[in-house]
A and B are shown apart, each in its own frame.
Chain A
């Protein structure tokens, strides 16, 4: 019996065993070639691509611009008629307004001061001034486009001032003040992209906010662009800058706000819609609608409207005359 040979074999086995146990054979794993790696572009939160666009529900024929006539002269600040929505708001001590905090020039947070400023904020302040004599007696609630009607219906805000287009369909759910700004849906594209019209955007991605009239208009274009929806129009500009969409399409006044933040973009294309913007108010408070219309009458006539337009929207050209009010009664 060669026990020495046996021992040698055993030692060799032992050695092999330890080598196997210690090293685990990590050297022959395939490595991913670095040249195969590709960038993954991030996205803003809540982007839908392609967007799920609900079809327009049946709506009765109406004059979308027609609102309720003011009930005589405005009551003075602090003297709201008892039992009205205005009296309840006065009781609370502040007006609660649903706004956007990302719409440059319309209603946005000024990064330098943290204050909300813009054309629509001026309108909200005018309403607060008429009610309290204090333009600062406001609590702003930032809301998404899709939340505009729900927050009014749930009574979480007294009114929404957020470039809300007056349509017959929406009149079924909420009331509107008279028109405070006229606009038309157009396109924002990268300069030099060669895109001029919706006709150039067949099969390409076009961005607008969820729950807006704009996203429906995009989906309805005969060239069949792909609608992409976001929570905020500003997120559409981020997507355009990052090359994730080919155009942004919403009302021209909002597009002007986007173009002002990025000079490499431009507004183009024919107007594909007529979009009157009004203050959204609950259907249960017609007296508040009449009150707001009274305030709008006043700022149209005393030059407040024109001064505000000139201050915030000079990029849209010389201030036009304020939109003439249309009343239904």
Chain B
């Protein structure tokens, strides 16, 4: 058999014998295929892990942090309002407060399970101070029942602890959970450039190897290498299709879900803050100008200075479906009504009729500020629940699209390696 000379120089300057060359080519192809396979599978598994993080950890963490903030803030507003009511606090307010604390504790327990280091520090503050807060509220109740003003001092101390320590920690937790969710969504979306590049390199080296083998053996096709090339085309094609579908899902989850959740959660925070400010304005009795300013600022944040913009305005224009928009618009209408009612309470108080102002503020009829705020809160809750679900649903779809890709790429790589070896081994055998 004619042994063609290779136009290649060996490492030591001599020409390389053909069987050694084949061995080198095979080894090179196997290495490249393995690298490419590892890159592809690792990317697939990483993205898959990120999407399950959204459905299993960061999504629920974000929902839990929202619930935690809402419960704490509502507990504060409710305890403050209960104090404003004369005599023993109304049973409805007491139940609402206790439910808020129960929900906050439950959300705290869930959050502690999945928190990272930074969040754990925030959660420690909350776990540490929440019992202290409830202790102060109960002390306030006892003194209130004794008919002495000391109860009011404890209410103020409790509210200060909530507003200056607990709520900021809950707010940080909420923001951190939102960031984690957005990071996961961003990390799992986008074109996987490394995988694409590795696939192209694999394909190019396979083609080069075929040209080389064809020249040496005078056979146009090496079946093993051709099969390997076909596999090498299929692998990035699958990766790109699957990650493309996943990316579109996650992007939709971010745009129609998380971004809207952030707006709505912020809107809820502003409305709860305004609710507490409203009670504090009356409790301060004539020296609540600072709280009134805070109330106006929170409401302006919520619906804009003229009632048409603000967080709810933005949320409404970003809402992806008519149903969402309808719920948000309902919330906006209630917020505007609340603003009007609050104006009436202020006019009564500023006009010297404090008792009437308190009666109006603590009234529980269907057109009272309490009821209007209740409907606003319910609407925001419904909008948030729907939007949180959407984040979860899109992440689930993304996870489905990525499902099996990792192990599929491992199998493909094994097949590719097998085909390369099957294609080149007989050629080496010819030289024995």
Contacts and interface: CB of A to CB of B under 8 A. Distances in A.
Contacts of A18: 41-42, 45, 406
Contact of A45 (B31, B156, B285): B156
Nearest to A23: B49
B153 A142 contact: no
A94 B352 contact: yes
A144 B287 contact: yes
B356 to A, nearest CB: 11
A134 to B, nearest CB: 12
A29 to B, nearest CB: 7
A201 interface: no
Nearest to B45: A18
Contacts of A39: 128, 132
B161 interface: yes
Interface string B12-38: 000000000001001100110010011
A40 B23 contact: no
A261 interface: yes
A112 B164 CA distance: 29
Given A14-B38, A40-B129, A45-B157, A141 B285 contact: yes
A237 B37 contact: no
A40 B136 CA distance: 13
Interface stretch (B67-75, B142-150, B178-186): B142-150
Main secondary structure of the interface of B (DSSP, over half): helix
Nearest to A144: B287
Given A45-B160, A114-B358, A261 B154 contact: no
Interface in A104-118: 104, 108-115
A262 B150 contact: yes
Given A21-B49, A112-B86, A102 B152 contact: yes
Given A10-B38, A114-B355, A114-B358, A44 B414 contact: no
A49 to B, nearest CB: 15
A6 B27 contact: yes
Interface string A7-20: 10011011001100
A22 B286 contact: no
Contacts of A32: 124
B421 interface: yes
B147 A110 contact: yes
B153 A3 contact: no
Interface residues of B, number: 55
A111 B355 contact: no
Interface in A222-248: 232, 234-235, 237-238
B354 A237 contact: no
A203 interface: no
Interface in B151-176: 151-154, 156-158, 160-161, 164-165
Contacts of A43: 157, 160
Contacts of A6: 27, 30-31, 34
Contacts of B152: 101-102, 109, 111, 234
A113 B87 contact: yes
Given A21-B46, A101-B149, A140-B354, A42 B157 contact: yes
Interface in A242-270: 260-262
Contacts of A232: 153
B402 interface: no
A179 B46 CA distance: 80
Interface in B330-356: 352, 354-355
A52 interface: no
Given A42-B136, A111-B148, A141-B285, A1 B153 contact: no
A37 interface: yes
Nearest to B28: A1
A143 interface: yes
A3 B421 contact: yes
Nearest to A4: B421
Nearest to A21: B46
A274 interface: no
Contacts of B34: 6-7, 10
A153 to B, nearest CB: 16
B287 A238 contact: no
A140 B355 CA distance: 11
A14 B42 contact: yes
A147 B287 CA distance: 10
B160 A13 contact: no
Contact of B352 (A29, A139, A143, A147): A139
B117 interface: yes
A262 B132 CA distance: 21
B223 interface: no
Contacts of A143: 286-287
Contacts of A29: 117
A177 B211 CA distance: 112
Nearest to B117: A29
19 contacts: A1-B27, A3-B27, A7-B414, A7-B417, A10-B38, A29-B117, A37-B128, A42-B165, A44-B157, A45-B156, A45-B160, A101-B149, A102-B152, A103-B149, A111-B143, A140-B286, A235-B153, A261-B146, A261-B148
Closest 7 CB pairs of A and B: A141-B286, A139-B352, A142-B285, A10-B34, A114-B86, A45-B160, A108-B149
Given A44-B160, A114-B355, 11 more contacts: A1-B23, A3-B26, A3-B30, A21-B42, A42-B132, A43-B157, A44-B153, A96-B352, A102-B153, A111-B86, A237-B153
